[in-house]
Amino acid sequence: MSVHELNEIEKPSNNTLPESALENAESGERTYQRLAEQIMALIHEGEFALGARLPSERGLADRFQVSRTAVREAVIALEVQEIVEVRLGSGIYVRGLPGSVKQLYVPAGPGPFELLRARRLIEGEIAGQAADLRKDGDIDRIYAALAEMRDNCDDKRANEASDLKFHQRLAEATGNTVLVHVITALWEQLRGPIWARLEDHFHTPALRQASLADHQKVFSAIVSRDVVAARLAMHEHIDRVVGEFVKGWA
């Protein structure tokens, strides 16, 4: 292709996306953050009074044309700020009236479900690679982390520490140190206030037992060097976590 032909190619317009979308992309603002601000604006304007019950998650999703996971994250962000209160089995209620929408603080960075989607993609491949490349010493280290998870099922904090260790050991089994750092960084981002509040609602001893069984499936596939089964078991594990965290409140 000649230089003349290159010059004739039309350059893409800077206004291909709506202006609001460009602003959101540039600011890094996420859907759940914008939605939290919109819901708080409705409370501030008096559409929902103190003590009033908000529409259901499905109703909010339909009204604002967003996913239910975005609604879940937005509501949790407002709950952390004590603007709303989630009552399991009942619904979402206005707890406090904001002085102004500008007072809302929503933590920067990705929300829990965005991080879980990233984990599903990355850790599924890590599990598959671990099944293909693991050595006997890796099996010993992965099993030790799994045994710690089992022994700490009644201790949430210790169980979480051994859970992270299990996933780090899988990454180590690939022989790629970058992946170990990626796993650690992903998990560090799951320690924010929104994730913590989600866990307060849904992280139960029963979920820890189910998670242990999921990890056992991953481990068994890696021992068998079954790449497909290891990847699938990891996907199913993270899908289970997502499924628990999107259970209905009312």
Domain at 80, CATH number: 1.10.10.10
Across 165-178, average pLDDT: 98
If asked whether residues 124 and 238 sit together in one domain, one would say: yes
Position 33 in a domain:
yes
Higher per-residue confidence, 129 vs 103: 129
Cα dihedral 23, 25, 27, 30, rounded to 10, equals 110
Question: How large a percentage of the chain has pLDDT more than 90?
Answer: 60
Question: How large a percentage of the chain has pLDDT more than 70?
Answer: 83
Give φ, ψ of 139 to 5 degrees: -60, -45
17-74 pLDDT tens trace: 333 332 343 334 588 889 998 999 999 889 999 999 999 999 999 999 999 999 999 9
pLDDT value at residue 18: 35
- Considering just the CA atoms, what is the radius of gyration of the chain in Å? 22
Higher per-residue confidence, 98 vs 199: 199
Least confident span in 3-7, 125-129, 130-134, 232-236:
3-7
pLDDT tier, 205 (very low <50, low <70, confident <90, very high otherwise): confident
Nearest of 211, 110, 227, 114 to residue 167 by alpha carbon = 211
Task: Cite the beta strand spans of 57-134 per DSSP E.
Answer: 84-87, 91-94
Position 155 in a domain:
yes
Domain count, the chain: 2
If asked whether residues 119 and 210 sit together in one domain, one would say: yes
Say which CATH number the domain at 239 has.
1.20.120.530
112-168 pLDDT tens trace: 899 999 999 999 999 999 999 999 999 999 999 999 999 999 998 999 999 999 999
- Residue 18 token pair: 């709506």
If asked whether residues 160 and 188 sit together in one domain, one would say: yes
**Three-class DSSP category at 87:** strand
Q: Which of 103, 121, 154 is the last residue of a domain?
A: 103
Distances (CA, A) of 187 to 118, 208, 209: 11, 17, 20
Q: Which of 60, 81, 103 is the last residue of a domain?
A: 103
If asked whether residues 173 and 225 sit together in one domain, one would say: yes
Q: What is the mean pLDDT of the chain?
A: 85
Strand 84-87 and strand 91-94: the pairing is: antiparallel
Position 5 in a domain:
no
If asked whether residues 124 and 73 sit together in one domain, one would say: no
Residue 14, pLDDT above cutoff 70: no
If asked whether residues 72 and 150 sit together in one domain, one would say: no
Distances (CA, A) of 116 to 69, 77, 105, 187, 214: 11, 17, 22, 10, 16
pLDDT value at residue 245: 86
Residue 101, pLDDT above cutoff 70: no
If asked whether residues 36 and 65 sit together in one domain, one would say: yes
Cα separation, 41 vs 20, whole angstroms: 18
Position 150 in a domain:
yes
Position 2 in a domain:
no
Angle at which helices 156-173 and 205-223 cross, to 10°: 20
* Report for 10-19, 43-52, 212-221: range of highest mean pLDDT: 212-221
Position 16 in a domain:
no
If asked whether residues 155 and 226 sit together in one domain, one would say: yes
Q: Which of 53, 84, 103 is the last residue of a domain?
A: 103
Confidence (pTM) = 0.78
If asked whether residues 150 and 202 sit together in one domain, one would say: yes
If asked whether residues 96 and 179 sit together in one domain, one would say: no
User: Which domain range does residue 116 map to?
Assistant: 112-245
If asked whether residues 73 and 124 sit together in one domain, one would say: no
If asked whether residues 160 and 60 sit together in one domain, one would say: no
pLDDT tier, 189 (very low <50, low <70, confident <90, very high otherwise): confident
**Three-class DSSP category at 192:** coil
